[in-house]
Amino acid sequence: RDTTVVAIDGPAGSGKSSVSKQVARRLGYGYLDTGAAYRALAWHALGHGADTSDASSVLDATGDFDFAISLDPDHYWVRVGGTDVTDAIREPRVTDAVSGVARVPAVRHTVNTLFRALITGSGLPGVVVEGRDITTVVAPDAPVRILLTAAPAVRAARRSAELTGHDSVTVAEALHRRDASDSTVVDFLSAAPGVVVVDSSDLDFEQTVGAVLDVIHTVV
Ligand code: C5P
């Protein structure tokens, strides 16, 4: 039987990752964090001394990129060349570099091929796939496609609550800068035709999970 794909896109701070993970647990599905691949590649490129604002420098570093990710929402890990980078890819230096890596078309093509292979080869009944271009590019034919949004101020507040010890103005500015850069590459701030919008601005975590499950249950 084919693996059912639940495609979820949205900006940083929309609650996308934690909500997608929880939805996957509830359904007994896998969870694929596509942003982690871009982050892992940024980490790898930085380790090679690449200039992540330069496409050819990024491409040079992708040659020996050996990426592995867990699809188990209860045992999430990310590895590059066998090294566990689960925490390292969340460091600010990686977050600051990731947009530059993600804007290289050949990089997007390579990781998208990887994502489709991970989904097809998973052997799971379903996978919740989370990112920026899942509903439009990676899995446009998915039976469930959701755009998870939240008001900018709400997203900034959530992100600074996650990153304790960081100045909230700096966090909001960095978030805004990354969204602005990312949205020149893929439009994840508006829903493509057929994509259901779930706005989590006025919802808590459990309510957001419930809203996403409601959308899924209308189809699957
Ligand atoms: O979701 P997360 O914040 O971890 O994503 C990190 C970065 O990866 C984003 O800022 C974006 O540049 C890139 N990304 C992307 N397409 C995706 C997922 C992430 O370009 N599907």
Region 78-94: what's the mean pLDDT?
A: 96
98, 108, 116, 185: residue to mutate for ligand 1 pocket, most atoms within 8 A of CB: 98
3-state class (DSSP) for residue 115 = helix
- CB 13 less than 6 A from any atom of ligand 1: no
| pLDDT tens for each residue of 24-56 | 999 999 999 999 999 999 999 999 999 999 999
Question: CA Rg, the chain, in Å?
Answer: 17
Q: Which strand ranges, in their side-by-side order, compose the sheet holding 67-69?
A: 67-69, 78-80, 83-84
Residue 65 has pLDDT above 90, yes or no: yes
Q: Is the CB of 85 under 6 A from ligand 1?
A: no
pLDDT band at 139 (very low <50, low <70, confident <90, very high): very high
Q: Tell me the pLDDT of the chain averaged across its residues.
A: 93
* Type and span of the H or E element at 49: none
Strands 67-69 and 126-131: what pairing?
Answer: unpaired
Q: Averaged over 162-190, what is the pLDDT?
A: 82
pLDDT surpassing 90 at residue 215: yes
Whole-angstrom distance, CA of residue 157 vs CA of residue 7: 25
Annotated binding site for ATP: 10-18
Residues sharing a CB contact under 8 Å with residue 173, sequence separation 6 or more, in sequence order: none
152 in helix, strand or coil?
A: helix
The pLDDT tens digits of the residues spanning 113-130 come to 999 999 999 999 999 999
Percentage, residues of the chain above pLDDT 70:
100
Give pLDDT, residue 71.
Answer: 98
- For ligand 1, atom 10, which residue shows the shortest CA distance? 99
Residue 168 clears pLDDT 80, i.e. is over it = no
Sorting pLDDT into bands at 50, 70 and 90, what band is 158?
confident
Three-state SS sequence of 112-135: HHHHHHHHHCCCCCEEEEEECCHH
Global pTM reads 0.94
pLDDT reading at 167 higher than 80: no
Instruction: Report the sign of the C-alpha dihedral through residues 139, 141, 145, 151, in that order.
Output: positive
Say yes or no: CB of residue 188 within 6 Å of ligand 1: no
Helix, coil or strand: residue 30: strand
